[in-house]
Structures are given as C-alpha cells and as structure tokens.
Amino acid sequence: MNFKAFCVAAAASFATFASMPMAKADYPDRPIVLVVPFPAGSSSDTIPRMLAPLISKSLGGSVVIENRAGANGSLGATRVANSPADGYTLLLATTGVLAINQWIYASPQYAPEKDFAPIVNIASTPNIIVVNPTVKANTLQELIAEAKAKPGTLTFASAGNGSTSHICGEALKVMGGVDLIHVPYQGPAPAIQDVLGGRVSMICDNLSNVVPYVNSNHLKAIVVTASEPNAQLPQVPTSKQAGLPDLEAGIWYGMVAPAATPRDIIEKLNKATVEALQDPTVKERLNTLGLTVIGDTPDHFKAFIAQESARMENVVKLSKARIP
C-alpha cells in the first residue's frame, strides 16, 4: 500500500471510529431515571426498587424510579423510546412491553426491537391461575366444567389489556372452550385485591404476585401455566399435568435503554445490574417471591426478546385478543 492509499484508509477508519456513539468518561454525572411502566405494588415495581440502591452504589451515581403507568406499559415504554440515547433514561421492561403489545394493539406506539437497546434480562416467573375460595373448582378441569355449566358468569381479572394475565385468560377461553368475562385493571395489585374480595372469580397472574395469598389460603391455586413444576408451589399441577399443555404464560423482567445508546454504557449498566442480582439479600428476596434470577448479557437478551416476540405473536393470534 502506497502512502496516499494508507492515508485514505486511515482517515476512513478514524471517521468510522469517530462516528460511533461513546459514553463520557464520567458517566453517570447526573441521576439515572429508571422508568417503571406500571403502578406501585407489583413485582414490576418491587424488583427495580430492590436493585436501584445497589446499582447506584456500583455506578457511583443515583438511580431514581419513575412510575409511568398505562396501556400495559406502553406509556412508559414510549416515554423511554423517545428519550435521548445517553444512558440517563432506562426502562424496566416486561413480557408485555417487549413481546406482546406490538401484536395486540391495533396502533402500537413503539417497535420494541427497533426502539430499544437490551441491557439485561433480570428475572422470570410463571403465571398461575388462582381463584377466590368461593369458586367450587379445585382443578383446571373442574374450573372448565363449572364455566361450561354457567356460561358468562365466571370472571377473570387482569393487570390490563395486553398483559400476560389478559392473554392467559383469553387463551384459557379458547383452549377450554369456555365463556369467561374479562375485567381489566390498571396493574396487578388492584386486580388481585378484587379477586381476594370476591368481586372477580379468578386471575392468571405471575406467581410472584400471588404466592403469598396462596400460602395464606386467601386464594386457591388451580394450575401453574408452565411446563415444569414450580419449587415455590410444587403441589400445584402444571398445564400439561392438568390437561392443557399449550396453556403456558409467564413474565420476565428486563432492562432496556433507547436505541443507539453507546455500547460502553450498555455494558456498564449490565455489569452493575448483574452484580446487584448476585447480592445474597436480593437473591433470597427474589427467590421468596418465586422469581428465577437470570442476569444475562445484552446480546443474549436481544436474541431472547426476538424469540419471545415470535412466540407471543402466535399466542395472541390463538387467543384472538385485540385492542383498538
């Protein structure tokens, strides 16, 4: 290579390097806002509040929680998708936010795989169908039989249109051939309260939200909507054991940033979060809630989101759920 060609190649390489987004050396130099797109009182809110102090300590800067609830997480997700890609506005993202909304809403406000840069998948938990003790059924087949005997009288609560609890209930209607009435709420906490109070018959919510009420006999567990038994409730049958192997629903909790966020910031946030997840107190608390810690890499989480999105597209089509 002659000198002129070398200079041209060097200039091109420098231009490419200079165009790559890079974090400032002193990141973070102001508070990081972690948007939780759901109300307080659920695992979606508990998990980030548990991790934030440890992440703050690791990064040397504060992480503050901002609840921005609505439209199954779409309001908070849209806020983050439209924020600067500088690492100062992050999103606590769930299955619904990253894998369901784009398929169930007629006019989605964001495109998960295009608008976000994955940071880490934090934890996961299966859903479980629980009923108010006044419901006579003790098994899934008994619940289906009762629903068939009284069409349109049993109700199921959900954390909102498009949530995993909504999709699970709609899938049960199709797979079980039953007529259930959907009652959506703004988040799982008020939905569960109305099931506890007997105003709604049942809910198919994530295990971490309902396991305390099952253990205290305030709610009756019918089935874990997963292929494998759960260590927290080993006596509760799986969907396969109960006769509906395709009735699978669960939720995972991850963290993402706006697309084009510098890779070194993504890596720094991933490292801090994974370290926080290894804290013994955090691990014990998450385990008590029925959550399985994940703590993967950004690239692994990206591939997982794509896989889950394709799976949930099929589930939404099967359930025939649609939000205008």
What are the residues facing 131 on neighbouring strands?
202, 220
pTM: 0.83
What are the residues facing 158 on neighbouring strands?
184
- Do residues 123 and 89 lie in contact, with contact meaning Cβ atoms separated by under 8 Å? no
Q: Mind listing the pLDDT tens digit for each residue in 111-127?
A: 999 999 999 999 999 99
Instruction: Please spell the DSSP secondary structure of 113-168, one letter per residue.
Output: HHHEEEEEEEEEEEEEEEE-TTS---SHHHHHHHHHHSTTT-EEEESSTTSHHHHH
Q: Mind listing the pLDDT tens digit for each residue in 41-76?
A: 778 899 999 999 999 999 999 999 999 988 889 999
Of residues 98 and 23, more confidence is placed in 98
Residue type, 306: A
**Measured between alpha carbons, how far is 166 from 61 in angstroms, rounded to an integer?**
38
Of residues 2 and 51, more confidence is placed in 51
